[in-house]
Structure 1
Amino acid sequence: MSSGIGDDKHDSTHVDRIDPELHEKSPEILLNKDLMNDAFEAENREHEMGVWEAVKDHPMACFWACLFCFTIVMESFDMFLNGNFVALTAFKRRYGVYVEGAGWTIPTKWQSALFQSGQCGAFIGVFLAGPITNRLGYRWTTILALVLMNATIFISFFADSLSVLVIGQAFEGVPWGLFIANSPAYASEVVPLALRGVCTATLQMAWSIGGIIVAGATYGYNKRSDEWAWRGPLALQWIFPTPLMVLIFFAPESPWWLIRRGRKEQALRSIKRLGRRSGNQASAEATLAMMERTVEIEVHMGGEPTLLDLLKGTDLRRTIITCLMYASQNFAGNLIANQATFFFEQAGMSTDFSFKLNLINSCLQFVANGLSWPLSAYFGRRTIYLYGTAFNMCMLFLLGVCASIPQNQSTNYAQACLGIIISFVFAGTLGPISYSVISETSSVRLRALSTGVGRAAYYVAEIPMIYLASQMLNPTGWDLAGKCGYVWGGTALVCLISAYFGLPELKDRSYRELDILFGRKIPARKFKTTIIDVKDNE
């Protein structure tokens, strides 16, 4: 029985039984022997399938999952761009104030507004995502968001004041919310069980790609002294939406969504498109039967999904886990990564060298994202999250100590290095594994709504934390520099304790098994050791 961090052993003696009376309440589809046998076969095949075998059997599923995840690069681009604006020399001279001893700087209130406005727009977007996706599907909702993204970039690009730029960022945030709510859900639904962790982890890689592009662009444009120092990077946003629109137009819809809408023939076609071209009809029909079985169980439990369903019965627990996992991304070093250039400046680095360090930091995050793939394939979600949080917590406290002792060039470099290490660990563990947990925790029936509400919790936590982060780093605020490590180390400790007692192990569990585990109210630390029979339909 799992009782501690990283315990991966199974207790094969722990077998749960179901009430025989439940079978009497089963809908007709669950009494269809042929369909159930196909469902058993498909689920057992997914459990037996290794990562590399799954990649070879479902290459197109991997491609489409990664493509949808790549839409996150647009939110990442803007988030990192705002973090770099406040460090751009020309931008600071145009919109900043002069502070004795610190030079030109953007006032704290405008820093916070630039960071928060997009998140406020995204907060609206994630609540729109669930109802729109339930009606239109993942594909058309994403295309709609891309059209909206193309249009809203104009506001930011032509902005001639900080207030208009803030408004432009708020409008851009709405499609961000649609992207971030739909991408992990779609990715988790189109790939086999063995690939769910790997493919949803590409969300963090898309985030890093956005950071690399921004770091490279702002490093080059920082040498300009005119308005194109910031208008140039803003214009680069237009390179993403149109090509993505064209590709996603040809993407298959999630078969899970199609089955929930009663469109079985289209779902079967999607399953065939997501597998190998040489895949046989029987295999596709077995996969369809497995999906029908799970969807029918959930429909029997709840009917048409609504936001209120997220707060009822066992779904309340699943919603809390999703919300806490999303919110916790703000509390273990992520905000240092988002404001890396400004953090390096406050740690004592020159402006030019800070931009160089930020580019290095972004590239290292990309490497960490790549390393997260084998990690998520072979280690449990709970294990990765707990170890990653514990390590970053220690590094954050060490950062605070480095900033508290008498300062010299060595302590400045130490703080910068610790900031890079914290960002690297986050990008390889906490960041990508959070998306895996989020996409797997919710029931299939409520997934579009759950991922949207979970991301809303992220913004509810992030918006005040952005203000706090800006206040801690800014010379016109508290000017704590690396001492902010004490604050983020404390919040990381809270995340660690909460996850130890509340985060279940979801790896290698089908959606049906997760429904049953949550339905039986199994404690989080016993999820891994509880055995679920393939014939259980509760």
Structure 2
Amino acid sequence: MPGFLNQFGERNSAGKMVLDTEKKAIMNSVVYLGRMVGVFIFEPMTERLGYKKMFIFLCLIQLVGVTIELTSKEWIQFTVGRVLTYVTIGLIEAVIPSYSAEVSPAPLRGFFSGLFVPLQSSVGMLTSGVARAFATTQGPVGWLVPISLQGIPSLVGLSLILFTVESPRWLISKGRHEEALTNLRRLRTQRDCDAGLPEMEVAALREAIEYSNSISQGSWKEVLSGTYWRRAVYACIMFMAYEAGGNQFYNAYGPSFLVDAGLGSKAFIYGIIVNMCGALGSLLTILTTDTIGRRPLCIAGSAALVVWDCLIAVYGGAEDITTNSTKQNIVVASFILLIFSTKVAFASHSFIVTIEMGGVRMRKKLMMIGASQDVLWSFLTAFFTPYIMKSIHANIGFVFAGIAGIGFIYAVLLLPELRGRSLEEVDELFENPRFRWGWQYQGVKTTGIGAEIANLERHGAHADAEQGKDVAVAQHVVLDEEDEKR
């Protein structure tokens, strides 16, 4: 944006205002540190404060970051504010899906836990439109208006926090059983409350948590023991396949391809289409994952990723790519379908399945591990792709295809099908026996307290959907537009 360059850039020998390479490198790299900080503080702070206070905290951090950006006179101050907004992003990616999973009934958990992904893509289209509108504005308003929009979701989120409830599971873990019952009754339909289901659910959750506490302390040491280490590895594979198998490919290579192929003038339109298809893909996912299941969507989506990555590699490096409209269209279509398939395969499911695999005691720790991998692979892909492209150009698509292939193999052989299971039911699935192939989970009949909770959550789940949506949307609305820059 010209206005941004006029404020923070320097005039080069040709008389143009530019940001030098060092400044751009610093501004684009340290934000990952902010995201990682957000991920790392999620587990200990949420365990201590609860989800509602964490939500208020992340909204305030976002507002402070935006304020620092808007009042910046130097690029260093602006970068500090940007780092703080990325702390919020790290918190959002862990807090929102975790909270949604804990307050939603098992048959609807996939929808609510993954709801923030299509909202994220929709926000991406909005920010792209705003950036386009101010792309030629010379004055300060050209960058102040787009930056100020980052604060709106936090203000809306803070105004709606009164309409949400603290997670009953978190309250029970802290011994606040009466408050947990009150909140659970707000989350369930009047019919279920009249039938006494919230009381039975609280009693079952209390028994499950007390039993888990008697055999496990939920320490970090335990993550590397028993079956938890395998669950942690599964989470790492999913986030690796998500970011390095497709999600970051367009961001890292797409704009360069469009310029090299002579399509730079259409980059904005293609960016809008990519975000729109991403939103449609993620919306399709959350609407079907609780009926079709996690495995079929991940298998189909990851298989498609391999195809699109290979097509981009084959046709993107063709000698006549600048003049052959057919090959140009194939590559552009592959990029669009790549993002769509990424959303179907791993964008939502990485968060959903990671939370589900955590069981009673390790949900937050496993989510922290997964989210840290999300940040790590985002950074590695963004950092190394330009260097690899210098050597092999469009053939880098085969590298991404290889990583997507790992995701496909994982989805076929190892990805557990946890659709319709209660969060407390998962530990029994992983412990008896210690190892199962991915397709074997669905047919297992559990008998412990987790199965009782699942039966209670299934009762009237469809009637709970409308009431639960209000709760989830109030938490999801804080999504930060800045996330689309990563």
TM tier relative to shorter chain: 0.7 to 0.9
Q: Check conservation: 2:31, 2:86, Cα contact below 8 A.
A: yes
| Match of residue 453 from structure 1 | 369
**Mapped partners of 2:391, 2:244: distance in 1:** 19
Cα offset, 1:534, TM superposition:
5.0
Q: How does 1:141-290 map to 2 (within 5 A)?
A: 141-160=54-73, 162-278=75-191, 279-280=193-194, 282-290=196-204
- Secondary structure of 2:419's counterpart equals coil
| Match of residue 279 from structure 2 | 366
Q: Check conservation: 2:284, 2:344, Cα contact below 8 A.
A: yes
Counterpart of 1:505 (choices 389, 405, 417) is: 417
Give CA-to-partner distance per residue, 1:131-162, whole Å, 9 cap, x none. 11111101101101111110011233344555
Q: Check conservation: 2:69, 2:78, Cα contact below 8 A.
A: yes
Question: CA, structure 1 residues 118+501, in 2 after alignment: closer, same or farther (shift >3 Å)?
Answer: same
| Match of residue 136 from structure 1 | 49
Q: How does 1:397-416 map to 2 (within 5 A)?
A: 397-406=310-319, 407-409=321-323, 410=325, 411-416=327-332
Q: Check conservation: 2:131, 2:146, Cα contact below 8 A.
A: yes
Confirm whether residue 418 of structure 1 aligns to residue 334 of structure 2.
yes
Give CA-to-partner distance per residue, 1:226-246, whole Å, 9 cap, x none. 444333211211111112012
| Match of residue 349 from structure 2 | 433
- Quick one: which amino acid aligns to residue 394 of structure 1? V
- Quick one: which amino acid aligns to residue 232 of structure 2? T
**Mapped partners of 1:483, 1:92: distance in 2:** 34
Percent of aligned positions with the same letter in both sequences? Answer: 23
Q: Check conservation: 1:127, 1:452, Cα contact below 8 A.
A: yes
- Quick one: which amino acid aligns to residue 398 of structure 1? L
Question: CA, structure 1 residues 371+168, in 2 after alignment: closer, same or farther (shift >3 Å)?
Answer: same
Q: How does 1:27-38 map to 2 (within 5 A)?
A: none
Q: Check conservation: 2:249, 2:400, Cα contact below 8 A.
A: no
**Mapped partners of 1:282, 1:380: distance in 2:** 30
| Match of residue 463 from structure 1 | 379
Q: Check conservation: 1:294, 1:512, Cα contact below 8 A.
A: yes
Q: How does 1:94-113 map to 2 (within 5 A)?
A: 95=9, 113=26
Counterpart of 2:306 (choices 393, 401, 416) is: 393
Question: CA, structure 1 residues 154+192, in 2 after alignment: closer, same or farther (shift >3 Å)?
Answer: same
**Mapped partners of 2:243, 2:109: distance in 1:** 23
Q: Check conservation: 2:311, 2:330, Cα contact below 8 A.
A: no
Taking only aligned residues, the RMSD between alpha carbons, in angstroms, comes to 3.0
| Match of residue 296 from structure 1 | 210
| Match of residue 331 from structure 1 | 244
Cα offset, 1:471, TM superposition:
4.1
Give CA-to-partner distance per residue, 1:312-364, whole Å, 9 cap, x none. 32222222222332233212210134458734643535554211221222222
Provide the TM-score with structure 1 as the length reference.
Answer: 0.75
Q: How does 1:7-156 map to 2 (within 5 A)?
A: 88=1, 95=9, 113-156=26-69
- Quick one: which amino acid aligns to residue 444 of structure 1? V
| Match of residue 221 from structure 2 | 308
- Quick one: which amino acid aligns to residue 489 of structure 1? A
**Mapped partners of 1:165, 1:233: distance in 2:** 14
Question: CA, structure 1 residues 276+219, in 2 after alignment: closer, same or farther (shift >3 Å)?
Answer: same
**5+ long unaligned stretches in structure 2:** 452-486
- Secondary structure of 2:189's counterpart equals coil
| Match of residue 404 from structure 2 | 492
Provide the TM-score with structure 2 as the length reference.
Answer: 0.83
Give CA-to-partner distance per residue, 1:112-140, whole Å, 9 cap, x none. 54443222111111111111111110110
| Match of residue 17 from structure 1 | none
- Secondary structure of 2:290's counterpart equals helix
- Secondary structure of 2:127's counterpart equals helix
- Secondary structure of 2:445's counterpart equals coil
Question: CA, structure 1 residues 506+135, in 2 after alignment: closer, same or farther (shift >3 Å)?
Answer: same
Question: CA, structure 1 residues 317+213, in 2 after alignment: closer, same or farther (shift >3 Å)?
Answer: same
**Mapped partners of 1:92, 1:354: distance in 2:** 21
Aligned residues: 444
Give CA-to-partner distance per residue, 1:420-454, whole Å, 9 cap, x none. 11112212332112221122111222222221222
Q: How does 1:348-367 map to 2 (within 5 A)?
A: 348-367=261-280
Cα offset, 1:169, TM superposition:
2.1
Deviates more, 1:237-246 or 1:170-179: 170-179
- Quick one: which amino acid aligns to residue 326 of structure 1? F
Give CA-to-partner distance per residue, 1:152-192, whole Å, 9 cap, x none. 11233344555444333222222222221111111111111
Q: Check conservation: 1:129, 1:178, Cα contact below 8 A.
A: yes
Q: Check conservation: 2:128, 2:272, Cα contact below 8 A.
A: yes
| Match of residue 426 from structure 2 | 514
Q: Check conservation: 2:66, 2:150, Cα contact below 8 A.
A: yes
